[in-house]
Every structure is written in structure tokens, then in C-alpha cells.
């Protein structure tokens, strides 16, 4: 069975260079927000990163798990993927995400096996444009069925405090022009479920 691989340091595209793992479970400080003005945030991200960003297509399948946290298989639609387990509070504003991640070269096969063994929670399809600003991944996401969003992932360095990560996230929010009232809780999967329940009423 294919799919075993070395651990990576963040749930992102395999083409992006990543820092080495420490002995502890790696973590990010994250923010997710709805975008009122896609053009403005995209332009600011280009300016701050001095790049046009990297476009990544992602198809995430979420699975049932007995543990607190989320388990998903991320298919990059190019024959590669990542299996990711993460724990993160469902709250607006900066939050710490602890995660474990491994690479697979058979994402469709692994998705099938996990679906049969655990059952699916749902799927999220999106096109992501990734900008690197210092140690932070700035994601501009177009999510099928939801719309446009911005996500920040401050990749925490060894011995760096959570407070430092939160401060970096807050500063980037200001630099990108993201307002506090546009911050959202939970994952895209949660928003899709909530939208589905509303449509059933």
C-alpha cells in the first residue's frame, strides 16, 4: 500500500519549503475571516509578500473520529495528498492549532479506505492562493458553496510563545484590512453544514 511518508510541518502544498519539526507536536496560530473585498486583500497580500502567490487546488475529505479534533485527507488533485489530524478551538480571533501530518502519493485510495473504516463527515473543495509573509502563510480561498475567505497561519518557531504568534496575526489582520467583525469560528466544513441545515428549513 502506498501512502507512507515523512512528516511535514504544516497542512499545505508539498511544494512549499517547510521548517524542520521539533520533538513536540507542531502548532500554528490561525485566523479565518470572510472577505468583503477580495480585490483589496489580494492586492495587499501581493504587496506584503512581494509575490503573485501560489495557486493550490485542494479537495479535503473529513472523517469521523472518536478523539476531539478533526481528521481530513487533503487531495491536491495532482497525485499527491496529505493526511492531517488537528486540534483547534472553535472561536473567532487568533487560536492555536496543534496538528500531525503525513504525505501520501495515493490520496484517492486512502480516502476510500478511511471512508469505509471511519465514515465521512463531508467534503470541502477550494482554490487557494498562498502568499508567504515572513513566517505566516496568508491564504486567499475561494470555497465551493461558501464564497471567498482569508486565512492566516502563523507557523510557530521553536521556543516562540503563543502571545508572539497572536501579535503577528493581529498585525497582519490590520495590514490586510481585515475587520474583527468578519472573523469566523470553526472550519469551512462547519460553515457548509450550517448552510445545509439552513437550506433544509
H/E stretch holding 84 reads strand 81-88
Q: Which domains does the chain have, with CATH numbers?
A: 27-200 (2.40.320.10)
The whole-angstrom separation of Cα 164 and Cα 162 is: 5
Instruction: Judge contact between 44 and 27, C-beta under 8 A.
Output: no
pTM score over 0.95: no
Summarize pLDDT for 155-182 with one digit per residue, the tens: 999 889 999 999 999 999 999 999 999 9
Q: Find the angle CA(49)-CA(11)-CA(188) to the nearest 5 degrees.
A: 90
Select the more confidently predicted residue: 39 or 199. Answer: 39
Amino acid at each position: 500500500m502506498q501512502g507512507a511518508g515523512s512528516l511535514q510541518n504544516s497542512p499545505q502544498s508539498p511544494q512549499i519549503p517547510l521548517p524542520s519539526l521539533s520533538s513536540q507536536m507542531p502548532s500554528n496560530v490561525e485566523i479565518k475571516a470572510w472577505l468583503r473585498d477580495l480585490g483589496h486583500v489580494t492586492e495587499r497580500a501581493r504587496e506584503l509578500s512581494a509575490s503573485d502567490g501560489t495557486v493550490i487546488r485542494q479537495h479535503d475529505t473529513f472523517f469521523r473520529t472518536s478523539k476531539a479534533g478533526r481528521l481530513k485527507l487533503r487531495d491536491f488533485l495532482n497525485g499527491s495528498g496529505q493526511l492531517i489530524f488537528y486540534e483547534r478551538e472553535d472561536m473567532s480571533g487568533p487560536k492555536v492549532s496543534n496538528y500531525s501530518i503525513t504525505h501520501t502519493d495515493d490520496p484517492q485510495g486512502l480516502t476510500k479506505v478511511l471512508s469505509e473504516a471511519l465514515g465521512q463527515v463531508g467534503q470541502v473543495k477550494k482554490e487557494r492562493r498562498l502568499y508567504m509573509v515572513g513566517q505566516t502563510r496568508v491564504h486567499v480561498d475561494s470555497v465551493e458553496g461558501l464564497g471567498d475567505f482569508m486565512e492566516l497561519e502563523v507557523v510557530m518557531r521553536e521556543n516562540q510563545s503563543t502571545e508572539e504568534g497572536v501579535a503577528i496575526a493581529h498585525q497582519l489582520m490590520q495590514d490586510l484590512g481585515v475587520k474583527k467583525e468578519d472573523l469566523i469560528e470553526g472550519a469551512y466544513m462547519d460553515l457548509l453544514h450550517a448552510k445545509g441545515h439552513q437550506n433544509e428549513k
